Structure 1
Amino acid sequence: MMRSLYSAISGLGVNQRAMDVLGNNISNVNTIGFKAGRTVFQDMLSQTISGGTSATGSVGSRNPSQIGLGSVLATVTNVFTDGTSKTTDVDTDLSIQGDGFFVLSGQSQNEFLYTRAGDFNFDSTGHLVSSSGFGVQGWMVDPETGELQTDTNTDAIIVGTDYQAVEAKATTKTSVAGILSTDADPNVLEYPTLLHSAEGGASIFSVYSAKGVKMDVAADEPIKIKAHATGLTDMSKIYNDTDVSLGITNSSNNSLLVYINNTAYTFVYGGAGPNGFTTMQGLADALETQLNTVAGAADFDVSVTNGKFTIAKTADAGADVTINSFSGSARLAVAMQNLASTYDDASDTKSSEQLYFEQTIYAGRDFTTLSELAAEIEAAIDGNVLKSDDFTVTFDSATGKFSYANTGDPLDATEPNLTGFTLDKAYSGTSFELNMVTNDPLTVAKGATGSSNTFLREAKDSDALINLFTSNGTSMGLTQDSVLQFTGGVGGTNLTGTGSQPVYSAGIDPLDPADDVYFTLQDLRTSIADYFGYTSSSESELSRHVGSFDDNAGKLVLTSNAGIPNAISFIDFEVLGSGNYSTFYDYFDYSSTQAATGGVVTTSQTIYDAQGNEHTLKYKFEMVDSMKNTWKLTLETPDTGASVAFNESAGDSVYLHFNNNGSFSYMATEGGTRIPSLTANFNPNNGAGVISDIAVSLGTAALFDGVYLSSGDGGIEKTIQDGYPTGTLEDVMFNSAGEIIGYYSNSEVVKLGQIALATFTNPQGLLKVGDTTFRATTSSGVASVGTPGTGARGDISSGTLENSNVDLSSEFVNMITTQRGFQANSRVITTSDEMLQELLSLKR
C-alpha cells in the first residue's frame, strides 16, 4: 500500500474538522459575545529512510531522508479579540471594553461561569440575570452602613426591597461657590454750590457776582475804565459819549476854531498864550477869557462839571455875545456844538456833550486777581480824573467788595468829584460791570467812598461756617450761636444719635478775640464722617466719603461705600440757634443723588430636616468696604416661624475678608474675632427638631474654590448640601466602573452595588459550555476576580452589547483554503489509486 493514501486520508480528516470549526464560527456570526474558534494542524510521525551522516575529511555531511505520514488536528483555540459594540439603549445591556469576563452563577452553588455576553436584565425578584437565567455576580452595598462589601466573596446582584427607598437625611453641611462682583457704584449725595466772599487774591476768572452768577470775563478781554472827564483831564485822553477818542494831539487835529460874533478865534492844544490849552480846565479858562474880552466885561463863567463844558452868563455888564459855531478838531467841535448860542441875558446857560476819560486794560494780561484789578483802576483814575493820590481803590477780603475812596478836600473847589464812573467789558454780558459799580454810573464825592457789590468764590474747606452764601448769593444766615445737627441712615437702617457741629466757640479769654474759634467746613466734613461711621483719620480717607469743598467746586458731596447695602438712605440737617434759618433749610432741602448699584449677591438653598421637610436657607452677601475687601454674609429664611443663626457670631451675620487678588482670606465676627470654621443652627419650628451644627463652607484661604472677588458679572455658581427627603427607587444604571447606580425620586443618586469581572492567565484554556459561557480549567488557571478598570480588567459600557468577533471575510478565505486542501487530498487518493491500478495491470 502506498503511504500517500494514508497521508491523504489524514488530510481529508483535518480539513473536514477545520470546515466544522468554520461552520460553527459562521453560524455564530450574530451571537452576542461569541468568540471565534481557530484550528491548528500539525504533521504526523515521519518514516526515516536514511539517517544523516556527519562530514569526514574528504566527504561532506549527508541529510536524513524522511517521508511524512500525514497531518493531525493539534488544537482548536478560541480567539479572544474584542468584538465591535452595538448600541441597544437598554441600560442593563453591558459590554466590556478590554479584557475580562462577566461572572455568572452556575447550576450548583459553587459553580461559576464566565461570559462576554452582557445581555442582562432584572428578574421579578430583583436578581440581575443573563438571558439564560444565570445570576450575575458582584458585590452589593450594605443598606445599613452604605459601604460596598468588596472584601467578601462575590454574590448575586440583587436590587431587592432594601434598596427600593432611602430615608430622609437632615442637612449637615453646605457649601457656596461663586463670584462677588466688585463692580459696584456708591451712593452719592451732591448739594448745590456753597459760596464764600472772595479774597483779594482770588482770580477774576473764578469768582461769582453777588447774585451767584459766574463772572463773565474772558481771558484777554478788553475792559474800559471810564469816568467823566474833569478839569484835570488831559484833552488828548478825552472820549465822546460813543467811546470815540477826540484824537487831539500836539502834531495834528489840535486846533479848535470858535466863531464868536462872526469872528474866528483859534484855541490850540499845547499852544502858548491865552488861547493855548492842555487840560479840560485849560480849555475852559481860555474860552472864558475870550468871551469876557469880546463882551468887554467879566460877564461869563466857563466851568467843567460832570464831564461837560458849561458856559453861564452871570452878569449883563457888557455887550451881548453870540457863539456862532465850532470847527477845527472835528470830534471836539461836534462835542462843543451845543454851546453855540446867543448869550444876551444874565441867566443864559449852555452845556456841551459829555466827555469821558477812558483807559483800556486786559484781563489776564494787566490783571488776574481782584487786588491787581483794584490797583489798575486806581492807577487809571489817579492823576487823570482826580488829583494824584486823591483816589484809592482797595479790595476788602473781609467783605468781598471793592472800595472806592475820593480823598479830595470837600472845601477845595479845585478838587473835582468822581462822576460817571463805570467799567465796560468789550464782550457780551453785564455781570462783571453791574457787580463792579453798584449805581451805574457811580459818583464818589470829595471826602466820600463808594463800593462794589460783593464778589463771591466757591467755598473751600478752610472757610468759616458763619460766612457762607448759597449758590444765588444769599447768606446762609448762620450766627455765632448756631449749631448744625444732622441725622441719617445707611442701608435702610437709621443711625443712632445725632451728629452736631457748632459754628462758634468762645475762647477762654473774653478780651482776646483771637482766642475765639470759628469752625470751618473742614470741621463739618469731619463731623459728618464720624457720625456716619466713616474713617476720617486722614484727608484721603475723609475725601472718600465727605468730599473736599476745594475739589468739588464748593459743593458738599457725600459718598457711601460702594454698593447698594451701603447707600445713604437719608441725611437731615437742623440748625439750633436764635437766627432765621429758612435759607439754610431751603439749601439743604434737596440734593442730586447718584444711586448706588451692585454690591449685593443673594442665593437660596433648600435644606432638609430630620423628617425630610424642605426649608429655604437664603445667603445674602453685601459689600461693606470695597477698599478693604470686606463683605458681610447674612443668613436668612423666608419660612414662617423658622429662624437661623451662626454658632460663632451669636447672630445671623459674619464678615468675610478677601485678599488683594480677590481670593478668600478669613471670616470674622463684627468685632473682628476670627472664625476658623463656621456652623449654623436652623430651627424649622416643627416636630423635626433643630437642624444643628450645619457646617457652612465658603472657600479655602488664598484659593478660589469658594466665594471670591472679581470685576465683571458676578453671581453664585454652585450651592451644595447633603440633606434629602425620603425617596423611592426610579431607575438603575451602570457606569464605566461597573457600579450599579440607583436614581431615586428625591434626586438622590446612590451606589447600590458593583459588577465583578474575572481575568485568566490563559483565557484560551477556558472551556466552552454553551449559552456563550466558559468554564475555568486547569489550563486557563484560576479566575482573578475584581472590579472593572482595575488590574488588567476593562471598563464597562452600559446600553451596549459586544458583537461576535467572527470576521466573515477571513472565514470565507479560510473556507476556500480548507476546501482546496480537502480537494487536493482527495486528488492524492485518486492518483494513488490509479498508480496502484497500473501496478496491478503489470501481471496481465
Structure 2
Amino acid sequence: MLKSLFSGVSGLQSHQVAMDVESNNIANVNTVGFKYSRANFSDLLAQTKAIATAPQGQLGGKNPVQVGLGSTVSSMTRIFSQGSVQNSDKNTDVAIQGDGFYIVSPDGGNTYKYTRAGDFKFDAAGNFVDNNGFITQGWLRDPVTGKVDSTAPITDINIPPGLTTPAFASQEVVVKANLNSGPIVESMSPAYEVKSGSTNIQPAAVDANGNAIEAGNIGVMFNEVGEAFSIQENQGVWASFRNSEVVAGAVVANTALDMDFNVDPELGIAGNTVNVTAAAGATPAETANNYVAAINAKSSTTGVTASVDAAQVITLTNTNADASASHNIDFVVNTGSGIATASSVTAHRYQYNKTSAANTLGGDKTFTTTADLRKWLEDEARNQGGATNGITVAVNEQGKFEIQNPNSGVDDYDMNLKITAYTDKRTGTVVTENTRFTRNMEALNSVLPQASGGTAYSQSFNVATHSSSIDVFDSLGSKHTLRMEFRKTELDTSTGSTWDMLVTVPPPATIDTTAPLDEKRGSVRFNNDGSLATYNPPNISFSGNNGSAPDQQINLSFGTANAFDGMTSFDSRSATSGISQDGYTGGDLVGIRIDQSGTLVGSFSNGRSFGLAQIGMAKFTNNEGLSTEGGNIFIQTANSGDPIIGTAATAGRGFIQAAALEASNVDLSRALTQLIIIQRGFQANGKTITTSDQLLQTLIGLKQ
C-alpha cells in the first residue's frame, strides 16, 4: 500500500517540475531569442515480484511480475526551432535566420558566451554590446588593407565615436564603354590642323580644345551627317587649280606629217591611238585645223580641247570639268605639229593610299591623312604660279579644307578650282568612284580671281570620337577631373580598328614627364569581333602639384584582352556604360548599417561606404548541450561540442537580417494546452494518494 503512496508522490513531484518548466516557457513568451524547454518524464525502478521464465516442455513461459515505483523528470530538452523574425526600427538590431549564435564576451575576449538575442547597441566607448553589457565579438577592418579579414582571430567589435576616414588617393580607373565601329556615327569631331607660320604645312591636327593630335586618316573619316567615307585604296579625285594648257612651241610646219596621240588608257578604250593624216598639198593652216578637229573629236573622252591661232600655233586645254572624261592626252608622234615630243595635257590625281608614297610637283599625288592631302593641294596650287604666290590651303576648325587666293604675292593667278570624281576602268585595276568623298571635295569648285582674297571651302571631314571623364583624388583628397578622349584613327579589315586616346587633367596637375605635362597620349586597339585587343598606356603617373604626394600611379583598366568585359567596338552607338575609380576625400562617419553577412557598413560624409567590422557567429554540434546562464546567454558545456566560429551564411550558419529581432519560439497555444495536461496529471496523482489513504484507513479499521 505504501508503494502506491510513494508513486503518487513521485508523480506529483514530476508534474510539479513540468509545471515549473512550462511556466518558465510562458514567462518568456516575449523574451527576444528565447528557446523553450520541455520536461522529459521517465519511470523509476520497478519492484520485481517474479522473474520471467522460459517455456518448459508442455508448460509455456511466464512474463516477469513487476510493480513500478513512480516517475521522475529525467531530462530537460531545449527546443532550438526558429523563432519568428520581427522587423524593428533600430538598425543595430539583428536576427539570425537559421542556425548559429552571436558571440559575446564580458572580459575582452578571455571567455566567450553565446546568444540568439540580437538587441545590440553602441556604448559610450564605441563598443558593440548586448543588454548585459557584454561586447560582441567579430573582426575589425584592417587600416592598412582596408579589408575585414574574417580568417583572423575574433576580437571585441569597437567603432570609436566620431570616426573619420582619411583621404585615399585614386589607384585605379575602370572604364566600360563601346566605341562605334559602324558606318554611321553620332559622336564625331572635326579633323583640323595647326597652322605653322606662313608655310602652313605642319602635318598635325588638334582636338576641340586646340591640343595637337596626329593627323586624321581619311580612311576612317565621316561626312557632315556622320556617314563613313569608307575610302578604299586608290580612290580619290581629280583636282586642278587652273586650266591645264600646253601651247605649241612652234607653228605647224609647211610640210606637215601625220601625228599620233594616245588617249589615257585608264578608260579602257581599245585602240586608243588616234592618227591624224596630213592631206597632200595642204597648207600649214589646213593641217593645223585637221589636228585640232581630230583632237576635239575626242574631247568627250579625253577632256582635252584644242585651238589654233592665226599663226598656226596650237593650244591644248584641259579644264577638268567632266568627271567622265579621261583628263589626260599624251602626244607621242607629232613631227611638224609644233607640239613638243612626248608632251601631255593633264589634271592631277589625288588618290588614297595607306602607305602614302613620295609625291612630286606636277604629277599625281597619294595621301593617307588630311595633313597629306592638304599639303599636296597647297604645294600644287603654289606650283601653278611663281615662287612668291600667297595661295594657302588649310583645314579649319570645322574640318573643312579652306583654299584662299589672297593679294599677297606678285605671282598670284586667277584660280579656277575644279574637283571631279576619279575612276579607272582598266581590267585588273578597276577603281570605282567614292561618292561621299567626292561630294565633300566638290564643294571647293569655284573661281577665285587673282588678289580677290576669295576663299573656297569643302564640306567638313569628321572623325568618330567619344569621351568620358571622372574625378580622381590625390593624397590630400582633392578632386581632379580626368578626361579620356578617343578618336578613330585606323581600320584594318583583317585585324580590327585602332582609336587614339588622349588623357588630360586640368593644370597645375600633370600626368606626363614631357610637354605638354597635363596630357598623355595612347591608343586602344580592337579585334575584328569587337573585343579588346590591347591598349596603352596601362597607367598614368599623376601629380596634383598642390602639396599632395607626387607620382601617384593610377592604373587604367579597360578590360581583359580578347574579352568583352571592358571596352568594346561594336556597330552600335558610342557610349560609356560604366566608369569608376577607387579614390575618395576624407569624411566623417554619419551612419552604420548591417548587411546579411553581419558586416557593419559605415557611411561617411564623403559619400563612401565600406565595412568597419563583421559580426562573428558560432555553430555547435549539439545546441541542446548548451547551458543557460540567464540574460539570454548560453555557455559551452562538455556535451555541446566546441564552437565552430565563422561568418554568417557560411558552413551551415544562418544569415543575418538587420533591423530585426528573433522572437521567442514559445507557442502559447501549445504551452497553455500543456498546462492543462500537466494539471490533469497532477490531479490524477493526487487522487492516487487520496485513494491509497482511504484503503489504508479501511485496513486500519479492520483492527477495530
TM-score > 0.5, shorter chain as reference: yes
Say if 1:128 and 1:158, in contact at 8 Å, map to a contact too.
yes
Query: Equivalences for 1:36-55 in 2 at 5 Å?
Result: 36-55=36-55
The equivalent position to 1:634 in structure 2, one of 502, 506, 511, is 502
Deviations along 1:298-321, one digit per CA (max 9) or x if unpaired, are xxxxxxxxxxxxxxxxxxxxxxxx
- What residue is the counterpart of 1:29 in the other structure? 29
Q: Does 2:642 align with 1:782?
A: yes
- What residue is the counterpart of 1:71 in the other structure? 71
Say if 1:94 and 1:800, in contact at 8 Å, map to a contact too.
yes
Query: Equivalences for 1:675-824 in 2 at 5 Å?
Result: 675=536, 678-824=538-684
Query: Equivalences for 1:147-166 in 2 at 5 Å?
Result: 148=148, 153-160=153-160, 164-166=163-165
| Letter aligned with residue 722 of structure 1 | D
User: Residues 587, 47 of structure 1: CA spacing in aligned structure 2 closer, same or farther, 3 A cutoff?
Assistant: farther
Say if 2:8 and 2:688, in contact at 8 Å, map to a contact too.
yes
Say if 2:473 and 2:583, in contact at 8 Å, map to a contact too.
yes
- What residue is the counterpart of 1:187 in the other structure? 223
The equivalent position to 2:403 in structure 1, one of 553, 556, 572, is 572
CA distance in structure 1 between the partners assigned to 2:8 and 2:237 by the alignment? 121
1:166 shift after superposition: 1.9
* More divergent stretch after superposition (183-192 vs 502-511): 502-511
CA distance in structure 1 between the partners assigned to 2:316 and 2:9 by the alignment? 138
1:747 shift after superposition: 2.5
- What residue is the counterpart of 2:296 in the other structure? 399
User: Residues 646, 579 of structure 1: CA spacing in aligned structure 2 closer, same or farther, 3 A cutoff?
Assistant: closer
CA distance in structure 1 between the partners assigned to 2:680 and 2:305 by the alignment? 125
The equivalent position to 2:472 in structure 1, one of 581, 604, 607, is 607
- What residue is the counterpart of 1:112 in the other structure? 112
SS in 2 for 1:709: coil
RMSD: 4.3
CA distance in structure 1 between the partners assigned to 2:332 and 2:546 by the alignment? 67
- What residue is the counterpart of 1:530 in the other structure? 367
| Letter aligned with residue 178 of structure 1 | A
User: Residues 686, 795 of structure 1: CA spacing in aligned structure 2 closer, same or farther, 3 A cutoff?
Assistant: same
CA distance in structure 2 between the partners assigned to 1:648 and 1:821 by the alignment? 98
CA distance in structure 2 between the partners assigned to 1:52 and 1:823 by the alignment? 34
State, as a whole percentage, how many aligned pairs show the same letter. Answer: 32
1:731 shift after superposition: 1.8
User: Residues 192, 763 of structure 1: CA spacing in aligned structure 2 closer, same or farther, 3 A cutoff?
Assistant: closer
1:708 shift after superposition: 0.6
Say if 2:330 and 2:342, in contact at 8 Å, map to a contact too.
no
1:619 shift after superposition: 0.9
Give unmatched runs, 5+ long, in structure 1: 195-395, 402-455, 469-477, 485-501, 537-563, 668-674
- What residue is the counterpart of 1:126 in the other structure? 126
Say if 1:138 and 1:157, in contact at 8 Å, map to a contact too.
yes
1:145 shift after superposition: 5.3
Equivalences, count: 522
CA distance in structure 1 between the partners assigned to 2:175 and 2:533 by the alignment? 15
Say if 1:31 and 1:803, in contact at 8 Å, map to a contact too.
yes
CA distance in structure 1 between the partners assigned to 2:108 and 2:574 by the alignment? 64
SS in 2 for 1:730: strand
Say if 1:99 and 1:792, in contact at 8 Å, map to a contact too.
yes
- What residue is the counterpart of 1:176 in the other structure? 175
1:703 shift after superposition: 0.5
1:583 shift after superposition: 7.6
TM-score, length of structure 2 as denominator length: 0.65
User: Residues 42, 601 of structure 1: CA spacing in aligned structure 2 closer, same or farther, 3 A cutoff?
Assistant: same
| Letter aligned with residue 623 of structure 1 | K
| Letter aligned with residue 178 of structure 2 | I
Say if 1:635 and 1:645, in contact at 8 Å, map to a contact too.
no
CA distance in structure 2 between the partners assigned to 1:747 and 1:631 by the alignment? 34
Say if 2:238 and 2:320, in contact at 8 Å, map to a contact too.
no
- What residue is the counterpart of 2:346 in the other structure? 519
User: Residues 592, 151 of structure 1: CA spacing in aligned structure 2 closer, same or farther, 3 A cutoff?
Assistant: closer
Query: Equivalences for 1:343-358 in 2 at 5 Å?
Result: none
Query: Equivalences for 1:299-378 in 2 at 5 Å?
Result: none
Deviations along 1:48-86, one digit per CA (max 9) or x if unpaired, are 121111112222221111111111001112111121111
Give unmatched runs, 5+ long, in structure 2: 186-221, 230-235, 240-292, 307-314, 322-326, 354-363, 374-394, 419-444, 449-454
User: Residues 533, 581 of structure 1: CA spacing in aligned structure 2 closer, same or farther, 3 A cutoff?
Assistant: closer
CA distance in structure 1 between the partners assigned to 2:514 and 2:44 by the alignment? 89
- What residue is the counterpart of 1:660 in the other structure? 528
User: Residues 640, 533 of structure 1: CA spacing in aligned structure 2 closer, same or farther, 3 A cutoff?
Assistant: closer
1:535 shift after superposition: 11
Query: Equivalences for 1:826-841 in 2 at 5 Å?
Result: 826-841=686-701
User: Residues 29, 397 of structure 1: CA spacing in aligned structure 2 closer, same or farther, 3 A cutoff?
Assistant: farther
CA distance in structure 1 between the partners assigned to 2:611 and 2:694 by the alignment? 76
1:756 shift after superposition: 1.8
Say if 1:565 and 1:623, in contact at 8 Å, map to a contact too.
no
CA distance in structure 1 between the partners assigned to 2:108 and 2:605 by the alignment? 38
Say if 1:53 and 1:61, in contact at 8 Å, map to a contact too.
yes
| Letter aligned with residue 593 of structure 2 | M
SS in 1 for 2:21: helix
| Letter aligned with residue 130 of structure 1 | D
User: Residues 595, 826 of structure 1: CA spacing in aligned structure 2 closer, same or farther, 3 A cutoff?
Assistant: farther
1:640 shift after superposition: 4.1
1:31 shift after superposition: 0.7
Query: Equivalences for 1:199-238 in 2 at 5 Å?
Result: none
1:841 shift after superposition: 4.4
1:181 shift after superposition: 2.5
Deviations along 1:26-57, one digit per CA (max 9) or x if unpaired, are 11111101010111010011111211111122
User: Residues 508, 690 of structure 1: CA spacing in aligned structure 2 closer, same or farther, 3 A cutoff?
Assistant: farther
CA distance in structure 1 between the partners assigned to 2:695 and 2:515 by the alignment? 110
CA distance in structure 2 between the partners assigned to 1:83 and 1:504 by the alignment? 101
Say if 2:147 and 2:611, in contact at 8 Å, map to a contact too.
no
User: Residues 508, 644 of structure 1: CA spacing in aligned structure 2 closer, same or farther, 3 A cutoff?
Assistant: farther
SS in 2 for 1:14: helix
1:509 shift after superposition: 9.7
Say if 2:52 and 2:62, in contact at 8 Å, map to a contact too.
yes
- What residue is the counterpart of 1:617 in the other structure? 482
| Letter aligned with residue 509 of structure 2 | A
| Letter aligned with residue 64 of structure 1 | P
CA distance in structure 1 between the partners assigned to 2:538 and 2:524 by the alignment? 11
* More divergent stretch after superposition (722-731 vs 685-694): 685-694
Query: Equivalences for 1:426-465 in 2 at 5 Å?
Result: 463-464=302-303
SS in 2 for 1:515: coil
Say if 1:479 and 1:579, in contact at 8 Å, map to a contact too.
no
Say if 1:187 and 1:566, in contact at 8 Å, map to a contact too.
no
CA distance in structure 2 between the partners assigned to 1:787 and 1:521 by the alignment? 79
Say if 1:481 and 1:578, in contact at 8 Å, map to a contact too.
no
Say if 1:727 and 1:745, in contact at 8 Å, map to a contact too.
yes
CA distance in structure 2 between the partners assigned to 1:812 and 1:648 by the alignment? 87
Larger Rg: 1
TM-score, length of structure 1 as denominator length: 0.55
| Letter aligned with residue 511 of structure 2 | V
User: Residues 64, 632 of structure 1: CA spacing in aligned structure 2 closer, same or farther, 3 A cutoff?
Assistant: same
1:665 shift after superposition: 0.7
SS in 2 for 1:711: coil
1:519 shift after superposition: 2.9
1:818 shift after superposition: 1.7
